[in-house]
């Protein structure tokens, strides 16, 4: 399906194509033309116009075009509804609606200044909204104090040291630590950084860690959880393998593929195909 809007996009005309491609029409073609050509070109190309006055997909009262797409296609994802408020605030200069709206406007304006080609701008904007969606979906409760996960790990480990010095049993810190790692597995958790903050030798911390985490080293345990998350994303989303590698904290797709195959027994592309075949067999 073809979608057409006016050239030189910033907020709605980047956010809406992202929403279309990710949740409505994965094969969508986005066309940018001068404002006075949108309607004529839409008729000529058989495209659906959006984000201009007088068409269906546009602003209504205080709501922007992104809001209309969400309503029209009945998108229920809570993260999308969080994004909708941010986009609305940025697109209508109502930065009081969400703390992130002014930042979205600033980054979008900067991208538009740096990229004069609309489709290059859209490509960069897709990455921007993928990141914002991941934040809305998985990271809204995360705070940034240096590395937030390491900061939390330090706090928990200090509790453990205090418990040990007062003669209390240990298991509570391990349970709390597992929950925090599970919640923020896609961040850059490092044993070296943790040992430096605690002023404890990494070898000692590594040895203690394995006692409470399935007899796995720190790195093995993190990789195990990341692959578990990757399997969940493969089963429940339409993200590409490159996107899933990014969302699960792997540095590149080849590393992700190697670790996935070692733990699951087949590479992620084969696993994805087996899921699709299973769905087809179920329909049959």
Residue with the bigger pLDDT between 249 and 149: it is 249
pLDDT exceeds 50 at position 133? yes
Query: Looking at beta carbons, which pairs linking 36-43 to residues 24 or more positions away fall under 8 Å?
Result: 38/4, 38/5, 38/6, 41/4, 42/4
Per-residue pLDDT band at 172 (split at 50, 70, 90): very low
What proportion of the chain, given as a percentage, has pLDDT over 90? 46
pLDDT (0 to 100) of residue 253: 81
The answer to whether the CB of 89 falls within 8 A of the CB of 96 is yes
Q: Other C-beta atoms within 10 Å of 174: how many?
A: 15
- CA dist., res. 246 & res. 154, Å (int): 26
Residue 121: exposed, middle, or buried by beta-carbon count in 10 A (0-12, 13-18, 19+)? buried
pLDDT (0 to 100) of residue 193: 59
* Beta pairing partners, 48: 3
Mean pLDDT within 82-97: 93
pLDDT (0 to 100) of residue 40: 97
Task: Give the predicted TM-score (pTM) of the model.
Answer: 0.53
- Phi–psi pair at 190, nearest 5 degrees: -125, 135
Per-residue pLDDT band at 275 (split at 50, 70, 90): confident
pLDDT (0 to 100) of residue 102: 92
> What residue ranges define each of the domains in the chain, with the CATH number in brackets?
2-139 (no CATH), 148-215 (no CATH), 222-283 (1.10.10.60)
Per-residue pLDDT band at 171 (split at 50, 70, 90): very low
- Phi–psi pair at 201, nearest 5 degrees: -65, 135
The answer to whether the CB of 30 falls within 8 A of the CB of 18 is no
Mean pLDDT within 83-89: 95
């Amino acid at each position: 399906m073809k979608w057409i809007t006016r050239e030189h996009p910033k907020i709605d005309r980047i956010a809406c194509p992202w929403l279309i491609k990710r949740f409505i029409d994965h094969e969508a073609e986005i066309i940018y033309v001068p404002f006075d050509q949108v309607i004529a070109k839409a008729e000529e190309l058989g495209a659906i116009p959006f984000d201009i006055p007088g068409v269906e997909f546009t602003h209504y009262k205080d709501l922007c075009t992104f809001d209309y797409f969400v309503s029209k296609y009945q998108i229920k994802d809570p993260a999308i509804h969080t994004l909708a408020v941010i986009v609305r605030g940025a697109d209508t200069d109502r930065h009081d609606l969400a703390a992130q709206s002014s930042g979205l406007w600033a980054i979008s304006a900067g991208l538009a200044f740096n990229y004069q080609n609309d489709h290059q701008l859209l490509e960069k904007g897709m990455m921007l909204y993928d990141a914002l969606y991941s934040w809305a979906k998985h990271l809204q409760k995360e705070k940034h104090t240096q590395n937030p996960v390491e900061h939390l790990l330090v706090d928990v480990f200090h509790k453990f040291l205090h418990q040990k010095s007062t003669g209390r049993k240990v298991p509570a810190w391990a349970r709390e630590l597992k929950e925090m790692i599970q919640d923020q597995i896609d961040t850059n958790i490092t044993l070296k950084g943790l040992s430096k903050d605690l002023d404890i030798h990494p070898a000692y911390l590594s040895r203690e860690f394995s006692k409470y985490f399935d007899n796995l080293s720190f790195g093995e345990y993190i990789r195990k959880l990341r692959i578990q998350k990757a399997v969940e994303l493969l089963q429940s989303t339409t993200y590409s393998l490159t996107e899933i590698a990014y969302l699960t904290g792997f540095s590149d797709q080849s590393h992700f593929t190697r670790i996935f195959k070692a733990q699951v027994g087949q590479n992620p592309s084969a696993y994805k195909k087996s899921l699709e075949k299973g769905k087809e067999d179920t329909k049959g």
